[in-house]
Amino acid sequence: MNDIMKLFSLEGKTAIVTGANTGLGQGISIALAGAGAKVFGVARRSCTETLEKIKQIGGSFTEIIADLSDVSAIDTILNEVSKTASRVDILVNNAGIIKRCRAENVTYEDWDMVTDINTRMVFFLSQAVAKQWITDEKGGKIINIASMLGYQGGVYVPAYTASKSAVIGITKALANEWAHYNINVNGIAPGYFATNNTAQLRDDAERSEDILSRIPAGRWGTPEDVYGAAIFLASDASAYMHGFTIAVDGGWLAR
């Protein structure tokens, strides 16, 4: 491998990916493992399919079952990783939920459920990992998964929009504080991807057609479409990038 290709290699690195059993988290786990990282995937349910796909490419994957709506999951995750890895190098805060509901009907419970997982956990898991990095002075990479709704208002998803706008803000705030520790905090804002997250949207023929007609690429994204951005932000290739959220959106924001 020449020196330029080495910039993108994750050989010898350990990564945590939250929400690794399906969709984008599964895709990001495959990408990082394919680039050489030892991946620990966190999910509420078993990650059997992710494990199988990573096995097929000769990568390393270990699942950690944890409920990210509860901050006690942070200790569980870090303890599990420390059993077989000397340190964490990469954290991908991917897990997230969406609840579709008119603004006038949103309950306190639904608001908290969405923002606890999408925002609160993103911050506190990042804090826990960064504390280790600040102590060992070896730096690290945090990749936060935001959304188009970090930039736009959306329809019938106010808690989600608030939570993803916060993810873009947290990404900038943490970069300001931690860049000088050699910690890169950046984000990916996916456009419209064909995963569970958008199942309801895609089932609504009118909304689905509306969305598709606005995407310059002319199709919904697939988990493979985030491989490149994930590897870039997890690798030495992005060493001087701090606090930025990259849109991987088929051109949606360019419209």
Give catalytic residue positions.
160
176 Cβ contact partners less than 8 Å away, ≥ 6 residues apart: 243
Q: Amino acid letter at 156?
A: Y
Cβ-based nearer residue to ligand NAD, 10 or 24: 24
Smallest separation (angstroms) from ligand NAD to the CB of 116? 8
Burial 174-197 (b: 16+ CB within 10 A, else e): bbeebbeeebbbbbbbbbbbbbeb
Residue among 46, 45, 17, 12 at smallest CA distance from 31: 17
**Contacting positions for ligand NAD (CB under 6 A):** 19, 21-25, 43-44, 67-69, 94-97, 117, 145, 147, 190, 192-193, 195-198
d(CA 190, CA 246): 8
Smallest separation (angstroms) from ligand NAD to the CB of 145? 5
d(CA 243, CA 201): 30
Smallest separation (angstroms) from ligand NAD to the CB of 5? 28
> How many Å separate Cα 195 from the centre of its chain?
14
User: Phi first, then psi: what are they for 220, rounded to 5°?
Assistant: -70, 150
Smallest separation (angstroms) from ligand NAD to the CB of 217? 13
